[in-house]
Structure 1
Amino acid sequence: MPRITESRRAQQRQRIVDAMITCMRRQGLAKTSMADVSEESGLSAGAIYGYFAGKDELLLAVAMRALESHSEAVAELSRRRPVPPPSQILRALLGEVPQEALEGGILLQVWAAAVQHEGMRDAVLVVFSTLDERVGAYLRAWFIQIGREDPAESARRAAPALTALTQGFLVRASLTGRRDVDAFVESVGALLDPDAPLR
């Protein structure tokens, strides 16, 4: 048989991830089985296990989809000159989260699964760590631009707070169905710089 191309493999993986998201949105993670994903995707169970070892690995791929959009947004802002302020990167991080990740509480379901399953938790923590590193690279460039002493250390310490702000917003948006990025960024500004004029 001819070997499947990398492009075709990527398409098939995406098809399976799409099916997983659809099932999770419809019936929740706990009630979603690999058989459900197989039926939704139109692929055999054997084909799916050729791409993913099991449900946890597939769930991680769902989480990675959101990370990829975040990472590109951060990288793009890091390359700009002058480097834009943190409020803009917060807008980008929030604005780039796919709507599908919020509908049906997809991200919340991923994080809840990570609390209960050690292997899944380790994988999700790798995702968080990767995002912290990329946000840290942006913050380092920003701190260099504004003349902050020891910009690398400042960035390392500040990155988790910035990523946690995005995670808090996503929890609220998932639960309330409201996704007003501008209002959230303004509220963060009011907390960190209460004397600044409203824009």
Structure 2
Amino acid sequence: MARVSQEHLDARRRQILDGAARCFARDGFHGTSMQDVLKEVGLSAGAVYRYFSGKEDLIAAIAGEAVGSLRRAFERASQVTPPPAPDVLIGRVVRTLFDGDADGARGLDSRAFAGLIVQVWSESLRSERLAATLAEAYRGLSAAWSELVWAYRESGLLAADVPDAHVARTLIATAQGFIAQLAMFGDAGPEVLENGLRGLMSMDLQKIS
């Protein structure tokens, strides 16, 4: 019997994940059955269950990929020296959704992928497994961006006496908010976020009493 190559196994797993992601993006986690996934990917139940024990396992795998992609985008954006301004950094992160660089985004447009991420956030309130995945990713994001804020402070760009973790959390929240807006309304690209941040950063605070 011919031995199946690892490349073939990886490609088959990718095929299943991509098909499941399309189903979940289209009909939601709870509106999608395993039969829907089987039909989408054109494989038998045995072929799919060889890789995933069921829908919960598929959701966890897709969630891990989606969150991991954003985490890596944050980390890449924060490792530039010297660090660019926040509008540029946040823009680089959200462009991951539009450039197709994110794992799990294959075959999905930016709005559909953003919607999948929002579903993951919502599902984490019910699933301890997903909650743990998100918590680990968030710790990584916070650490990476706290280092970035420290670099801002060391270079003299950040004068306010605010804890680095608080600034990092606000930067992350900005990206999260944009992803939620993109999922719900789909009417804006990353340049809107970049321009908006640039506008806020241009405020003359001395004129505010």
User: TM-score if structure 1 supplies the norm length?
Assistant: 0.78
Q: 1:112 matched to which residue of 2?
A: 122
Where does the alignment leave 5 or more consecutive residues of structure 1 unmatched?
A: none
Letter in 2 for 1:131: L
Q: 1:67 matched to which residue of 2?
A: 67
Structure 2 residue 188 is the aligned partner of structure 1 residue 186: no
Structure 2 residue 98 is the aligned partner of structure 1 residue 89: no
Q: 1:135 matched to which residue of 2?
A: 145
Aligned pair in 2 of structure 1 residues 10, 70: CA closer, same or farther (>3 Å)? Answer: same
Q: 2:17 matched to which residue of 1?
A: 17
Is the Cα contact below 8 Å between 1:66 and 1:101 reproduced in 2?
Answer: no
**What's the offset of the Cα at 1:147?**
7.1
Letter in 1 for 2:195: E
- C-alpha distance in structure 2 between counterparts of 1:161 and 1:193, whole Å: 18
Is the Cα contact below 8 Å between 1:23 and 1:32 reproduced in 2?
Answer: yes
The more displaced of 109-118 and 65-74 is 65-74
Q: 1:53 matched to which residue of 2?
A: 53
CA offsets per residue over residues 107-150 of structure 1, 9 Å max, x none?
A: 2222222222333222233233333333334434444333769x
Structure 2 residue 179 is the aligned partner of structure 1 residue 170: yes
RMSD across aligned C-alpha pairs, in angstroms?
A: 3.0
* Structure with the largest fraction of helix: 1
Q: 1:44 matched to which residue of 2?
A: 44
- C-alpha distance in structure 1 between counterparts of 2:10 and 2:152, whole Å: 35
Asked which structure has the greater RCO (Cα within 8 Å, sep 6+), the reply is 2
**What's the offset of the Cα at 1:59?**
1.7
The percent identity for this pair of structures is 26
Secondary structure of the structure 2 residue equivalent to 1:32: coil
Letter in 1 for 2:130: M
The more displaced of 168-177 and 36-45 is 36-45
- C-alpha distance in structure 1 between counterparts of 2:63 and 2:188, whole Å: 19
Aligned pair in 2 of structure 1 residues 185, 117: CA closer, same or farther (>3 Å)? Answer: same
Aligned pair in 2 of structure 1 residues 52, 79: CA closer, same or farther (>3 Å)? Answer: same
Aligned pair in 2 of structure 1 residues 143, 55: CA closer, same or farther (>3 Å)? Answer: farther
Is the Cα contact below 8 Å between 2:87 and 2:193 reproduced in 1?
Answer: no
**What's the offset of the Cα at 1:164?**
1.2
- C-alpha distance in structure 1 between counterparts of 2:11 and 2:156, whole Å: 43
- C-alpha distance in structure 1 between counterparts of 2:37 and 2:88, whole Å: 37
Letter in 2 for 1:120: L
Is the Cα contact below 8 Å between 1:102 and 1:173 reproduced in 2?
Answer: yes
The more displaced of 96-105 and 24-33 is 96-105
**What's the offset of the Cα at 1:31?**
1.5
Aligned pair in 2 of structure 1 residues 135, 12: CA closer, same or farther (>3 Å)? Answer: farther
**What's the offset of the Cα at 1:185?**
2.8
Is the Cα contact below 8 Å between 2:142 and 2:168 reproduced in 1?
Answer: yes
- C-alpha distance in structure 2 between counterparts of 1:37 and 1:76, whole Å: 33
Secondary structure of the structure 2 residue equivalent to 1:96: helix
Is the Cα contact below 8 Å between 1:100 and 1:106 reproduced in 2?
Answer: no
The more displaced of 175-184 and 129-138 is 129-138
Structure 2 residue 156 is the aligned partner of structure 1 residue 121: no
